[in-house]
């Protein structure tokens, strides 16, 4: 499998997972890499079993395959007789992606950006303190700070807690946000022996799972762009593949802005994950393509859309997973025109950056 190096699984003595659950985690990872191809994933499972002894005489790969069917993780397609993953597997893959990416983010304490807009009717407790005022909820009172104030003001010998000793924790406002996530599926996403599409899919699945579970009032639209751009559903993400495409960034931006125009939220944003330069436009006579460096005609179209998005208050955050200096210069120019954000990231840190920026951008000053 190009772009992947396998090592023996690290299973600690305290791990209480069943043999099926241990194998299921590996199978779902492989299903993401193989874009939902059960046969290919199982072939790799057998190869890994021969190399790393994943099974034993008590529970073999045949038992695991049977359990996948019995537990509803795979099913037979009646049209061609091939097995495919089910909605249950799709949901489990998204949940695993969230735990893999967002769980790591929580441990590193990244993404906890607070807005300076406080108040009594905010959505969640912040870090700032202030004196108690009439109308503050009892749950906002900071008991530790209030008791400390009482000791300072009245002494330790005779405890006396008065109104002017009370301190409360400010609340912060959160806003609803509409996000469009653009994923580059041009051929360069798997060139040079490096799989860049799988990390992009994992980030998209984790972001979708986080929004639907933690921020249910937010909206997330996902689109892919190659020679053209089209919208996909969350359930389609595990099956996403790259194609023999150029990179029509213009088509992706136009579709993203059209999707956001239909949303009623005042806060809107575009996330774009890409590793290549814009190299394609669609014209009345066909496709205009140029893979040899940055084409000024294509670049100008991208910059015009960046400026248009800025005028309608849609920031674009670009996650660039390529290190070419001239491509990074284009992204900087694009970001300057839009007044958005740009991150130049390797594949390993991509999830951290996306989640950090999502949590910051969904908090706005009112």
Q: 270 and 124, same structural domain?
A: no
Examine residue 7 and state whether it is found in any structural domain, yes or no.
no
Q: What pLDDT shows up at residue 108?
A: 35
Angle at 197 between CA 194 and CA 198, to 5 degrees: 95
Examine residue 104 and state whether it is found in any structural domain, yes or no.
no
Q: 234 and 355, same structural domain?
A: yes
Q: 204 and 79, same structural domain?
A: no
Task: Specify the CATH number for the domain of residue 356.
Answer: 3.40.50.410
Bridge partners (DSSP) of residue 271 are: 181, 317
Examine residue 139 and state whether it is found in any structural domain, yes or no.
yes
Examine residue 76 and state whether it is found in any structural domain, yes or no.
yes
Q: What pLDDT shows up at residue 60?
A: 95
Q: 27 and 158, same structural domain?
A: no
Q: 309 and 227, same structural domain?
A: yes
Q: 325 and 196, same structural domain?
A: yes
Domain residue limits at 273 = 177-361
Examine residue 259 and state whether it is found in any structural domain, yes or no.
yes
pLDDT, tens digit only, all 366 positions of the chain: 545 555 555 544 445 789 999 999 999 999 999 999 999 999 999 999 999 999 999 999 999 999 999 999 999 999 999 999 999 999 999 888 877 765 544 443 333 333 444 444 444 555 567 887 777 778 788 888 888 888 888 887 777 888 888 888 876 556 788 999 999 999 988 876 778 888 888 888 988 888 888 788 889 999 999 999 999 999 999 999 999 999 999 999 999 999 999 998 888 999 999 887 899 999 999 999 998 889 999 999 999 999 999 999 999 988 887 777 888 889 899 999 999 888 876 656 666 667 667 766 754 432
Q: 142 and 244, same structural domain?
A: no
Split into its structural domains, the chain has a count of 3
Q: What pLDDT shows up at residue 101?
A: 63
Q: What pLDDT shows up at residue 158?
A: 76
Q: 251 and 167, same structural domain?
A: no
Asked whether the beta carbons of 185 and 229 are under 8 A apart, the reply is no
Each residue of 121-130: pLDDT tens digit? 444 555 567 8
Q: 246 and 154, same structural domain?
A: no
Q: 326 and 246, same structural domain?
A: yes
Examine residue 267 and state whether it is found in any structural domain, yes or no.
yes
Examine residue 91 and state whether it is found in any structural domain, yes or no.
no
Q: What pLDDT shows up at residue 355?
A: 63
Q: 334 and 216, same structural domain?
A: yes
Examine residue 6 and state whether it is found in any structural domain, yes or no.
no
CA distances from 305 to 38, 272, 299, 312, 318 (A): 40, 14, 10, 11, 14
Q: 146 and 75, same structural domain?
A: no
């Amino acid at each position: 499998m190009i772009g992947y190096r396998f090592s023996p699984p690290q299973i600690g003595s305290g791990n209480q997972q069943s043999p099926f659950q241990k194998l299921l985690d590996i199978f779902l990872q492989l299903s993401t890499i193989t874009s939902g191809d059960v046969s290919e994933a199982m072939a790799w499972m057998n190869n890994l079993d021969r190399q790393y002894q994943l099974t034993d005489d008590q529970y073999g790969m045949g038992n695991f395959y049977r359990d996948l069917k019995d537990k509803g993780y795979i099913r037979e397609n009646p049209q061609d007789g091939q097995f495919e993953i089910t909605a249950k597997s799709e949901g489990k893959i998204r949940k695993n992606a969230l735990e893999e990416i967002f769980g790591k983010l929580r441990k590193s304490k990244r993404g906890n950006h607070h807005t300076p807009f406080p108040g009594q009717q905010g959505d969640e407790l912040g870090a700032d303190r202030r004196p108690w005022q009439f109308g503050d909820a009892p749950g906002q009172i900071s008991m530790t700070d209030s008791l400390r104030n009482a000791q300072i003001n009245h002494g330790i010998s005779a405890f006396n807690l008065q109104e002017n000793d009370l301190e409360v924790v400010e609340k912060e406002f959160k806003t609803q946000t509409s996000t469009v996530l653009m994923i580059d599926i041009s051929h360069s996403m798997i060139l040079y022996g490096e799989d860049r599409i799988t990390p992009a899919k994992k980030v998209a699945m984790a972001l979708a799972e986080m929004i639907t579970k933690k921020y249910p009032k937010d909206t997330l639209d996902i689109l892919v762009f190659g020679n053209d751009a089209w919208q996909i559903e969350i359930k389609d993400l595990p099956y996403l593949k790259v194609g023999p495409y150029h990179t029509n960034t213009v088509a992706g931006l136009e579709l993203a802005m059209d999707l956001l125009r239909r949303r009623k939220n005042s806060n809107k944003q575009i996330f774009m994950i890409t590793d290549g330069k814009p190299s394609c436009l669609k014209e009345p006579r066909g496709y205009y393509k140029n893979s040899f460096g940055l084409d000024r005609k294509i670049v100008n179209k991208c910059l015009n859309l960046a400026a248009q998005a800025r005028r309608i208050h849609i920031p674009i955050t670009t996650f660039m997973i390529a290190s070419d200096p001239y491509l990074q210069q284009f992204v900087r120019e694009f970001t300057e025109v839009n007044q958005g954000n740009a991150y130049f990231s390797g594949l390993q840190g991509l999830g951290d950056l996306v989640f950090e920026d999502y949590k910051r951008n969904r908090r706005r000053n009112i």
